Amino acid sequence: MIDLSFVIGLALGTIVTGFCAIGSFNRGFDSVRRRSWTVEHAARKRVVVAARAHASQKLHRTAS
């Protein structure tokens, strides 16, 4: 006969493992979402900096 404490321990272990897996999934999902936003932000920043540099060069050429 299976001991009752074994069954209770097995059930609690399964529940704890499930909560850990769900928490890990949520942290990973948030990280991926944040990373894609950061990459997009960096790309937009590069475009703005490049546009400013191009405009500055154009301004210096016309002033000379």
Q: What is the DSSP string of the chain?
A: ---HHHHHHHHHHHHHHHHHHHHHHHHHHHHHHHHHHHHHHHHHHHHHHHHHHHHHHHHHHHH-
Per-residue CA distances from 28 to 22, 48, 56 (Å): 10, 30, 42
Of the chain, the end-to-end C-alpha distance in Å amounts to 96
| pLDDT value, residue 4 | 92
pLDDT of residue 5: 92
pLDDT attached to residue 1: 64
What is the residue-level pLDDT of the chain in tens, covering all 64 positions? 679 999 999 999 999 999 998 888 888 777 766 666 777 888 888 888 888 887 777 666 665 5
